Amino acid sequence: MDLTIEQLKEMINKGNKIFTGISVEEGDLQNYDLYGCIFEGCTLGLNFSNSNLRESKFINSNLKTCYFAGADLSGSTIEGNMLCSTDFYRAKIDKVIFKNNYYHSNKLELRDLERMVKESL
C-alpha cells in the first residue's frame, strides 16, 4: 500500500505501531518517537535520524536510502532487509539483533553494522 509521509505520520500520531506491506518512498521522521514500532515487508526511503526506535522491528523490508544517523535502535531487530545506501552513522545499536540483511548481494553481519555506525556514507 503506497502512502505519503503525511499519511504515515497521521497513522503514527493515532497510535499505530504495526506497519505491514506499506511503501513510503520519501519523507522525514526525524526526532520521532517510534518506540516499539514494527515495519514488516515494507519499502521505505525515510529519514529516521535522531528518532527513538528502541525495541522496534524492521523485518523483510527494503530500507534502501533510509537515514538512521543518530537514531536510537537499542534492543531493535533488523532482519532480512535490503540496506543499500542506508546510513547508520552514530546510531545507537546496543543489544540490536541484526541478521540476514543484505547490501546488494552481500550478506551483512553485525560487525558490518558496527562499521556503518562509525562511518558516514
**DSSP characters over 54-117:** TT-EEES-B-TT-B-TT-B-TT-EEES-B-TT-B-TT-B-TT-EEESEEETTEEE-HHHHHHHH
Cell numbers at 69, concatenated: 544517523
**CA 11 to chain CA centroid, nearest Å:** 17
- The type of residue at 65 is T
CATH among 2.160.20.80, 3.40.390.10, 2.70.98.10, 3.40.50.1380 for 5-118? 2.160.20.80
Q: Could you give the percent of the chain with pLDDT greater than 70? A: 99
The predicted-structure confidence for 9-20, as pLDDT tens digits, reads as follows 999 999 999 999
The pTM (predicted TM-score) of the whole model is 0.96
pLDDT at 48 exceeding the cut of 80: yes
Q: Are 35 and 54 within 8 A, CB to CB?
A: yes
What is the residue extent of each domain of the chain?
Answer: 5-118
